[in-house]
Chain A
Amino acid sequence: DAKTTQPPSMDCAEGRAANLPCNHSTISGNEYVYWYRQIHSQGPQYIIHGLKNNETNEMASLIITEDRKSSTLILPHATLRDTAVYYCIVRHNTGTASKLTFGTGTRLQVTL
């Protein structure tokens, strides 16, 4: 699975949009981009995933560049409860060998 690069930390004011970038320049054509987050001392929580089109759900939006070498996770109105480590992962979406491999992630701190 392709590696990803994320900034180690970011701050965001409560109520503002949080934009978390991720570089995955070696992504292959059949690899998906996944985002998970981990709130302190809990298991990872699925946020969103996509292949090449932009995606939106109740939690966030995922913007993938046309060349698929980078993406941005957008939390439209960050709250204090969004403070967590956010992981961007790329992986194949089929096959029993497919697994999620976590990088170092971005520690998002939402402040008042």
Chain B
Amino acid sequence: GAVVSQHPSRVICKSGTSVKIECRSLDFQATTMFWYRQFPKQSLMLMATSNEGSKATYEQGVEKDKFLINHASLTLSTLTVTSAHPEDSSFYICSARESRGAYPYNEQFFGPGTRLTVL
């Protein structure tokens, strides 16, 4: 299957700082990317959907000014957690989809995740 990478895999930061997480599709062009968040022992929760060159669509309850998403190219999306606080500590997972149409071009492939710890 297609490969999606994330960087960094793990980050620890101080409260009040901003953290950027990168998501890359390595062998396909991702017209749509998704960002999920997962707290310990819970399921993945979709935060936002972004289409290349467009503004992201955020799920209800997700603060768009706090979680800035940029999808400027077909292979890269970034999630910036601004002014991070301890409650933002979580496992952030990105997913990418080619979206050319029917299967297999519209499958979602997941990155390995980024564990954010805010002190």
- Is A87 in contact with chain B by the CB < 8 A criterion? yes
- Is A44 in contact with chain B by the CB < 8 A criterion? yes
- Shortest Cβ distance from residue B100 to the other chain A in the assembled complex, whole angstroms: 10
Give Cα A42–Cα B93 distance, bound, in whole angstroms.
Answer: 9
- Is B22 in contact with chain A by the CB < 8 A criterion? no
- The stretch that binds B, out of A14-22, A60-68, A70-78, A93-101, is A93-101
List B contacts of A99 (CB < 8 A): 34, 46, 49, 108
List A contacts of B108 (CB < 8 A): 46, 99-100
- Shortest Cβ distance from residue B104 to the other chain A in the assembled complex, whole angstroms: 10
Give Cα A93–Cα B106 distance, bound, in whole angstroms.
Answer: 7
Q: Which residues of B contact A (CB under 8 A)?
A: 1, 4, 6, 31-32, 34, 36, 43-46, 49, 51, 91, 93, 95, 99, 101-103, 106-113, 115
Q: Which residue of B lies closest to A105 (CB)?
A: B43
Q: Which residues of A contact B (CB under 8 A)?
A: 36, 38, 41-46, 87, 93-94, 96, 98-105
Q: Which residue of B lies closest to A87 (CB)?
A: B43
Are B112 and A42 in contact, CB atoms less than 8 angstroms apart?
yes
Are A41 and B32 in contact, CB atoms less than 8 angstroms apart?
no
Partner of A46, one of B1, B31, B36, B115: B1
Are A102 and B110 in contact, CB atoms less than 8 angstroms apart?
no
List B contacts of A41 (CB < 8 A): 91, 113, 115
Q: Which residue of A lies closest to B31 (CB)?
A: A96
User: Among A36, A99, A101, A104, which residue has the most Cβ atoms of chain B within 10 A?
Assistant: A99
Give Cα A38–Cα B91 distance, bound, in whole angstroms.
Answer: 13
List A contacts of B51 (CB < 8 A): 96
Supply 14 further A-B pairs (C-beta < 8 A) apart from A44-B95, A96-B51, A104-B43. Answer: A38-B44, A41-B91, A42-B113, A43-B4, A43-B110, A43-B111, A46-B109, A87-B43, A93-B103, A98-B106, A100-B34, A100-B46, A102-B44, A103-B43
Give Cα A43–Cα B95 distance, bound, in whole angstroms.
Answer: 9
